[in-house]
Structure 1
Amino acid sequence: MDYIKRRLITLNQNNIVNVNILLTSDIHGAVYPIHYQNNEKAELGLAKVATQIAQERANNDHVLVIDNGDFIQGTPFTYYYAKYMRNEENPMSIIANHIGYDAAIIGNHEFNYGMDVLNKAVAYANMPYLAANIMNKQTKKPYFGKPYIIKHIHPDIKIAVLGVTTHYIPNWEQPHHIKDLLFENALEATRQWVTYIHEQEQPHVLIVAYHGGFECDLQTGEPTEILTGENQGYAMCQEIEGIDILLTGHQHRYIAHEKVNSVTVLQTGSNGRSLGKVHVTLIKKQNQWMIKECYSELLPIEGIPADRAVLSLVSAYEQQTQEWLDKPIGTIAGDMLIHDAMETRLRDCAFIEFINKVQTDVTGANISCTSLFHNESSGFPNEITMRDIVSNYIYPNTLKVVRVTGKDIKEALELTAEYFSLDPDGNIIVNPAYIEPKPQHYHYDMWEGISYILNISKPVGERVVSLQYEEAPLHLDQEYDVVMNNYRASGGGNYVMFQNKPIIKDIQIDISELIANYILERKTIKATTNYNWKVVK
């Protein structure tokens, strides 16, 4: 009887297999568990995630590890490498190889440092980079090689991983960075490849790893954003048969324990604040493997120690980054600190005026616009270092001077005014659409070279109640040259009025570098505010 019982247990064990898919996404170059603006400890970073991944591998037999994009860009650590150490191996690839990813997906920010940096990162990585809808313009084949991979588990279980990337990249990225590429519609490419994979490979589990997010509420299907096509996750679940798991990213949302049209979905936030996990149980019935159970969860990394081997592998990169960050640049005479992010967006302040001043000085344009990118921006202290600059201007943007009409400027201001709404008590608040599902503070612009008033009590589209240029009403049919970052000039943030407008000047130097050069040349900068704009109710 004991022999029969043991044999039945063995048979049952052989007929059930558990597979765990681990997901990182939107790491954005965060390796060390610190905030670079002050080096204070932070509960984030790939070094902590690496410890969690190692623990999962130790506790489970079948583990796949996937990165879902926006991996190599986003911190001073990666910026310094791309600017000053690019002849060395990419530190993010070194870490990825140490962790042992099974696959990685191309994200939109992978292109920010140019194709040389990206191609080198891909070439050095041990795992394949998947992007089925990013095509070589010449060959019309996937630029990064494999559109999907097949992983064999136990040993007759086949798991397919298809990689796709938001096709909206040409609306954001500098054209010369992507001149050899074509971006096919992610939804249509996914539809075609899912069909192909099922026909040719007949996998037991099909995973779509999509560097994109959800355009609709997961429960109601109601649109949660302007349907530009940037995010198509909901449509993928609803319209494409044969997807078992949809891994998402791009939006920096935390999504787990959810299904959309029976598809298990997952999204892990950003900067390595959590590790995503999908648990799949397969059972063998009538000699055929089938999914018995599939669910997603988020594993927090709070309290998890950093992997010392990861930190050691890239310590030389980090040391040089820290030395560069502490390099003195100049001094500020007066107050250029950000005391309150909301107040900064309600009325002109010295920090925003200074950024616009740099942009107009560099380009010779009379009108400029810029953003306060995130609510953690602290502005500039009296003694400025590179750390202060890159902590406030966090994107590797460049400048473009765009020729637009007065009508375009007014439409842009009406769009930027949508950032605000009124609460039931009549107080000005941030429009919830700019906070959920993803914070988008960088879509609110503040202008110099014109004078304007936005009245938030007015209906949307009628909030620009005063608009002047050189102390006279701005002429809607007249043309003006405006300097803005390359993201906005391409129409990023739904500023379609700037798309396809004449580019009068294109400055191919990172704005953070332009700011540093401006201060270095002058040594001391006086904080000034001319109060040329304000927001009222």
Structure 2
Amino acid sequence: MAVSVLITSDLHGRLDRFEHLIKKMKALNPDLVIDNGDFLDGSPASFYYKHFHKKRHPMIELANEIYDVAIFGNHEFHNNLKAIESFRFDCHFPWISCNMGDFAKPYFIKDIGGKKFVVVGATTHYTRIWDEHGYLEELQFENTLKALQHWVEVVKTSEKPDYLIVSYHGGFTEDPTTGTVFQERVGENQANEILELIPDIDLLITGHQHLSINTRVKDTLIIQPASHGNGFFEVQINFETRQHEAKFHRLKKGEFSYPQEVEEWLEKEVAYIMDDYSYKGLLSSRLSSHPFIQLIHDMQLKATNAQISVCDLLYLENGGFFGRITNRDLINNAPREHKLRVISLLGSEIKELMEQSAAVFALNQEGKIDFSSNVYPDIPQPYQYDFWGGISYIIDVKEPAGHRLKNVTFQGEPLVNEQNYKVVLNSYRLTGYDFPLLKNRQFFYESTRTVPFLLKDYVQSDFPSTVPTHGNFKVIY
């Protein structure tokens, strides 16, 4: 007897690719179909249907045609609980997770040809830490590993499954095959501990990290299906030979588009800028001040009346604005629905945060500058790098981390350690996940609108003839 299980993860609302995925998945006539979380949030289409055409997202309609069960990911909770309940009601399949108390059922059962398949769901408990809007105040997340240890034992004892699947929206701290370290074992990604401490799992589904993994540890098959609708995994289980194998079905490269109404909205012009505020290069764009960063600082300072601005860049090789600006350009450059908050920081605290940010750089074996995560996997990664506006400074990568800042000035004078400054940051930074010094800081101003809307207002109404320079910086090595 052969059974086919299909798995997706971290689709992030990619409706343009999802329609093609569904066709391929249906053609395989699967017995069980699982989504491992982060289903809708994170695409221009999802932004459109949330804010401008408030109807049921078309991905839900398509998912209802094939999915048996889904696991809550952290991005599901970028919405308030009322919105999540409405979303869950629209789905004809259950959403499960064993570490959220009564909010979700812990596991799902399906009988396939007389064989009992049990899927135990789990969600990284760091979801609670990333709650920048206070949506999860009434919802508690148990440590994922402890919850799984309990519920897997319950399932093995009471359900006696023929095939046990753990579907975990979380990932690895070390490569399960080579042992290469990705990050410290702080609790965000507990797949290694799951493999070490929970026996008898037939299939471990992971996600969250957007990696492509297909391997085994002892008798456990392990997969992670990449992200953003690039493909899905098919697991074939043969009970006669007691073998199971995983195959990744990748979408062929092509031109994918959203529904016409979404594409028309994305291509709508919202502003036109004569000067060039674009940038190129994932690394090079972080080594010196450039016009787009000055533009973001100007927007944030005007929106909040702060003295100093902090911002970051997405993982984009190319970005910024030049000439015609469309809704697509706005969302590509500012997709995250953070709010802006103003806090008070001492000059000494600002320097500490800047030093932590500067630690993302290192010199590689060729003596050239690189991101430190490409050289030493256990220290800060590129997404922990911030630009500081209103301050001028130099980062010297030849110096050891923690001692790289040079010539830090504010309004032409040295930054004073004992002086308080009004600093604007986004609400995610103030969760303190990447920068613990910011955790639980009191803020005395919060924007009523999120960054995508603030940026749109700025380019449409507040854009100056020339964007002023809010300090300068340079990375030397």
TM-score normalised according to structure 1 size: 0.84
Counterpart amino acid of residue 49 in structure 2: Y
SS class of match (2:134):
helix
Query: Which contiguous aligned blocks of 4+ residues in structure 1 show a shift greater than 4 angstroms?
Result: 303-306, 433-437, 527-531
Counterpart in 1 of 2:144?
Answer: 186
1:199 corresponds to 2:167: no
1:230 corresponds to 2:171: no
Deviation at 1:218, TM superposition (A): 1.3
1:63 corresponds to 2:31: yes
Deviation at 1:435, TM superposition (A): 11
SS class of match (1:506):
strand
How big is each residue's C-alpha offset from its partner over 1:263-312, in whole Å with a ceiling of 9 and x where there is no partner? 211011111112112222213xxxxxxx8112323111116998xxxx9x
Change in CA separation of 1:325 and 1:368 when aligned onto 2, cut-off 3 Å: same
Change in CA separation of 1:83 and 1:305 when aligned onto 2, cut-off 3 Å: closer
How big is each residue's C-alpha offset from its partner over 1:308-356, in whole Å with a ceiling of 9 and x where there is no partner? xxx9xxx7xx333223222322222321011333221000011011112
Counterpart in 2 of 1:23?
Answer: 7
Deviation at 1:472, TM superposition (A): 2.5
Change in CA separation of 1:65 and 1:305 when aligned onto 2, cut-off 3 Å: farther
Q: How does 1:94-493 map to 2 (within 5 A)?
A: 94-98=61-65, 100-135=66-101, 141=102, 143-144=103-104, 146-155=105-114, 157-221=115-179, 223-256=181-214, 258-283=215-240, 292-302=242-252, 318-433=259-374, 441-492=382-433
CA distance in 2, matches of 1:319, 1:102: 29
1:509 corresponds to 2:475: no
CA distance in 2, matches of 1:435, 1:531: 31
Identity level (%): 33
Deviation at 1:203, TM superposition (A): 0.4
Change in CA separation of 1:66 and 1:450 when aligned onto 2, cut-off 3 Å: same
Aligned length: 476
CA distance in 2, matches of 1:536, 1:523: 32
Counterpart in 2 of 1:535?
Answer: 475
8 Å CA contact 1:398–1:507 kept in 2: the answer is yes
SS class of match (1:279):
strand
8 Å CA contact 1:23–1:277 kept in 2: the answer is yes
How big is each residue's C-alpha offset from its partner over 1:171-207, in whole Å with a ceiling of 9 and x where there is no partner? 2222432222111111111111101111110101111
Counterpart amino acid of residue 391 in structure 1: N
TM-score normalised according to structure 2 size: 0.94
8 Å CA contact 2:389–2:471 kept in 1: the answer is no
Change in CA separation of 1:407 and 1:530 when aligned onto 2, cut-off 3 Å: closer
More deviation, 190-199/297-306: 297-306
Change in CA separation of 1:106 and 1:249 when aligned onto 2, cut-off 3 Å: same
Counterpart amino acid of residue 90 in structure 1: H
Deviation at 1:54, TM superposition (A): 1.4
Counterpart in 1 of 2:56?
Answer: 89
Change in CA separation of 1:220 and 1:127 when aligned onto 2, cut-off 3 Å: same
Change in CA separation of 1:319 and 1:526 when aligned onto 2, cut-off 3 Å: farther
Change in CA separation of 1:19 and 1:422 when aligned onto 2, cut-off 3 Å: same
Change in CA separation of 1:473 and 1:304 when aligned onto 2, cut-off 3 Å: closer
SS class of match (1:410):
helix
Change in CA separation of 1:279 and 1:406 when aligned onto 2, cut-off 3 Å: farther
Counterpart in 1 of 2:458?
Answer: 518
8 Å CA contact 1:325–1:386 kept in 2: the answer is yes
